[in-house]
Homo-oligomer: A and B are copies of this chain.
Amino acid sequence: MQKPLSTKQQQFLDLIQRHALTYGQSPSYAEIMSALRFSSLGTVNWYVKTLIKNGHLNRTGGPNSKRALTLTEKHPASARLPLLGFIAAGTPIEALENAESVEVPAPLVHPDNFVLKIKGNSMIDDHIEDGDYIIVRKTQSAEPGQSIVALINGEATLKRYYPQNHKIELHPRNPDYPIIHINETDDFQINGIVLYSFREY
């Protein structure tokens, strides 16, 4: 059932996975076309058809469903997640130009997840040190008590989230540090929730 893949087909599959990981959804035919330097959508369609026929690719949702290509599941123990940039207290998140990636356990690989690297020792009140990595689930909302990455008036921080009636409290993990109170005049935005932190071996 699983015919062997030609080199180009492998590239095709790789692109879909990379795109899904980076942008949170699978690419459209047109995006594949320009990424792979085809000059026709027909070519893209030919790949999709034959890869689905041979069991390497799936479509989630019926025919005509958009951006719905997924790789048929292989489950390696680990895979890569994009490293989006650096986070340091008191500044916006510093983005990385060229897409690096970091090896993480496969169960953490999800289109909405990404990795940030900690810069400086400013997060030490969260038990997170210079050079550590955090795995973040991209979302605009969080449950009370979760650790979040947030932007307050343009400054990045990493705190625990405790919404109250008309304000929001952000607690550091270390009780020696102050609790931050956000009110409605502040520009506050949740970027994601922290799933895990780890250190390079």
Task: List residues of chain A with CB under 8 Å of any chain B CB.
Answer: 3-4, 6-7, 11, 14-15, 17-18, 21-25, 60-61, 65-68, 76-78, 105, 107-110, 113, 127, 135, 137, 139-144, 146, 163, 165-166, 168, 173, 190, 193, 195-196, 198, 201
Is B163 a contact partner of A66 (Cβ separation < 8 A)? no
Contacts of A193 in B (CB 8 A): 77
Chain B residues whose CB sits within 8 angstroms of the CB of A107 once the complex forms: 107-110, 113, 195
17 contacts between A and B (CB under 8 A): A4-B60, A6-B25, A6-B67, A7-B24, A7-B25, A18-B190, A22-B168, A23-B166, A77-B142, A77-B143, A77-B195, A105-B135, A105-B196, A107-B107, A107-B109, A108-B108, A127-B201
Instruction: Knowing that A77-B139, A77-B146, A78-B146 touch, tell me 8 more A-B residue pairs with CB under 8 angstroms.
Output: A4-B60, A4-B65, A17-B140, A17-B141, A105-B137, A105-B196, A107-B109, A127-B201
Cα(A190)–Cα(B11), bound, Å = 13
Interface centre among A24, A60, A198 (most CB of B within 10 A): A24
